[in-house]
Structure 1
């Protein structure tokens, strides 16, 4: 399991005093109000940054980091990910999982047949949709509903599914 989880991506600078505009990749954008630190993935290393200020603008979060007071100091971090440790991640409810823990998961049918590998989770309005690459190389979209997703076993990296009629070409 991943120990670091992405909570956002710096999209651009905001103003000239070192603030950045962040596209949140978390379900709960208000969590930034409670965060004290984030890790900035520079590509070479992770730098711990202390959050000094948080504002919200449209679908973005505006962050100010302690000790970064100039646009030139943050310009180089555009496009970089902001991470938190698993200990600082939001607490999950029953039957909720971190997407990072699910990607690459083996998918089997309720008849115990190998079906494929979970490649992506698309977050739509109603329910998530799981993108599975089947063992014959095709891509199948499975709705994340209890009639279709029967079991998710994070520890064994395994998902059991029921293939509903009409989801795949027979």
Structure 2
């Protein structure tokens, strides 16, 4: 499952024809349009179930999906709170300088002089900008906003983040 990327979480059913409401966990909810007719994976009881998106609708901040394999509300009720994943092949194409968050978790975080700060433990997604949660060697965590003044470079290939330690961050 390491090659799968989460695009949403099923919240509940919709109607009686097997549709589900999905909370998108991707930057662009409209990306689901590109998944019609393609394979998507539903994680149910730690197993990846291969499904195919038949139809996509949008309502406010929710995506409504219909899977080709299911045609009845009773068949999809058990999928509440399940993750929806796509293969990297069906993931959105990244622009220069973009990356998937899962590809940088665990990266070494160093300052501009290459002095080790800690490991990137997680990324908190906020409305304004992401926040990098960096785990220090002593077990403490510090929060670095993912803004150009603070995060200077994200090097996915070398699994390294170069950060500027702004006054008051540590």
Q: Is TM more than 0.5 here?
A: yes
Q: Of 27, 34, 39, which aligns to 2:41?
A: 39
The separation in 2 between residues aligned to 1:67 and 1:137, in whole angstroms, is 46
1:135 to 134, 137, 148: 137
Task: Answer yes or no: is the 8 Å Cα contact 1:114–1:135 preserved in 2.
Answer: no
1:61 to 39, 45, 63: 63
Structure 2 residue 20 is matched with structure 1 residue 20: yes
What value does the CA root-mean-square deviation take over the aligned residues? 1.5
Conserved 8 A contact 1:2-1:101: no
- Give unpaired runs (5+ residues) of structure 1: none
Shift of 1:28: 0.8
User: CA–CA distance in 2 between the matches of 1:93 and 1:136?
Assistant: 36
**1:15-52 deviation per Cα after TM superposition (whole angstroms, max 9, x unaligned):** 11111010101001001011022111113421211111
Runs of 4+ that moved beyond 3 A: none
3-state SS in 2 of match to 1:34? helix
- Tell me by how many angstroms 1:92 deviates: 1.1
Provide the C-alpha distance between the structure 2 equivalents of 1:15 and 1:64, rounded to a whole number of angstroms. 10
- Structure 2 gaps, min length 5: none
Q: Is the CA contact (8 Å cut-off) linking 1:2 and 1:100 kept in structure 2?
A: no
Pick aligned residue for 1:88 from 80, 87, 90: 90
1:125 CA displacement: 2.7
Shift of 1:67: 2.8
TM-score where L is the length of structure 1: 0.92
Question: Structure 2 length normalisation: TM-score?
Answer: 0.92
Give the match for residue 162 of structure 1. Answer: 164
Secondary structure of residue in 1 paired with 2:114: coil
Name the CA distance, whole Å, in 1 between partners of 2:46 and 2:132. Answer: 31
State the aligned residue count. 168
Rounded Cα–Cα distance in structure 1 between residues aligned with 2:83 and 2:159: 25
CA distance in 2 between counterparts of 1:41 and 1:67 reads 15
